[in-house]
Amino acid sequence: MFHQAKKSMGQNFLKSKEALNMMCVAGEVNDKDIVIEIGPGKGALTEKLLEKARKVIAIEKDSDLVEIINERFTNEIKNKKLILLNEDILNFNPGNFNIKEGEYKIIANIPYNITGLIIRRFLSECIKPISMTLLVQKEVAERIVARDGKESILSLSVKAYGNPKYVMKVHKRFFSPSPKVDSAIIHIGNISNKFFKDINEENKFFRIVKAGFAHKRKVLRKNLEEIKENINKIDQILIKLDINPKARAEDIKFEKWIEMNKLF
């Protein structure tokens, strides 16, 4: 069945066998795994996942593509190895399938326009997966792992819950239609809430991080005044953590932010 990619849904179908295999390798997919695939498209990655995983739950918003997947994997759907859902991933709740935290993996080629929403939902808002292996815009992948040595709200938000790793670049020519930019595979492993003892500490961490990055031209010390008016207290914290008072938020490593959160 022919399907015209829908730009409004950010559809770019991956056709590189090397990249498809690498996503399964990076995700360490085995026959005990439940894998959630976001936006299976025409089923290229779905096929690889079904070869290795115990069960695949594929969530596709486009009803035209659901038809294609239904036809392509009739037996797997009948045998319940593949569960195909026609819905928006941002409304999906693993708990509805009796899946508990740490009992599944996410492996997916996700639309560029909802990358941040998907990462935030499954790291902080939802029942957490064991790991996430995602094909995203290359620039976003580089920001997540802070490849240039500069942290961002995005990189710190990911590191707060897991260990991000840059796996490989995927050139734009390996997609149909070809996007304007290259992509990259990232793997976020060891996902947990280990850095936060409760929701209050978790919320405080993100309040501090957002304040720290609020004004790019200002140094961290000045930005933090917005949440803690006592500048002397801020100075004491920076001294204790051996942070230069002229440092900017992007220069502060993740571990220092976690220590800062405990002192605020």
Q: What is the pLDDT of residue 15?
A: 84
In this predicted structure, what is the pLDDT of residue 229?
67
Distance CA 256, CA 242 (A): 9
What is the pTM (predicted TM-score) of this model? 0.91
pLDDT for the residue 125? 79
Question: For all residues of the chain together, what is the average pLDDT?
Answer: 91
Average pLDDT over residues 22-43: 95
Q: Percent of the chain having pLDDT more than 90?
A: 80
The two tokens of residue 38 are: 């976001």
If pLDDT is split at 50, 70 and 90, which confidence band does 2 have?
Answer: very low
Quick one: tokens of 33? 């795994």
Assess whether pLDDT exceeds 90 at residue 34.
yes
How far is residue 10's CA from residue 23's CA, in Å, rounded to a whole number? 20
How confident is the model over 80-89, as pLDDT tens digits? 999 999 999 9
What pLDDT digit, counting tens, does each position of 140-181 carry? 999 999 999 999 999 999 999 999 999 999 999 988 778 889
CA distances for 118 relative to 125, 163, 194, angstroms: 10, 17, 21
What is the per-residue pLDDT across 193-212, written as a single tens digit (0 to 9) for each? 999 999 999 999 999 999 99
What is the pLDDT averaged over residues 6-26? 79
**Which pLDDT score is estimated for 205?**
96
pLDDT of residue 5: 47
Q: 8 pLDDT band (50/70/90 cuts)?
A: very low
Task: Please report the pLDDT score of residue 226 as a whole number.
Answer: 82
Task: List, for residues 216-226, the tens digit of each pLDDT value.
Answer: 889 999 999 88
Q: Which domains does the chain have, with CATH numbers?
A: 7-189 (3.40.50.150), 199-263 (1.10.8.100)
pLDDT single digits (tens) 92-137: 999 999 999 999 999 999 888 889 999 999 998 779 999 999 999 9
Please compute the mean of the pLDDT values over residues 35-62 and round it to a whole number: 95
Cα-Cα-Cα-Cα torsion 97, 100, 105, 108, nearest 10 degrees, comes to: 50
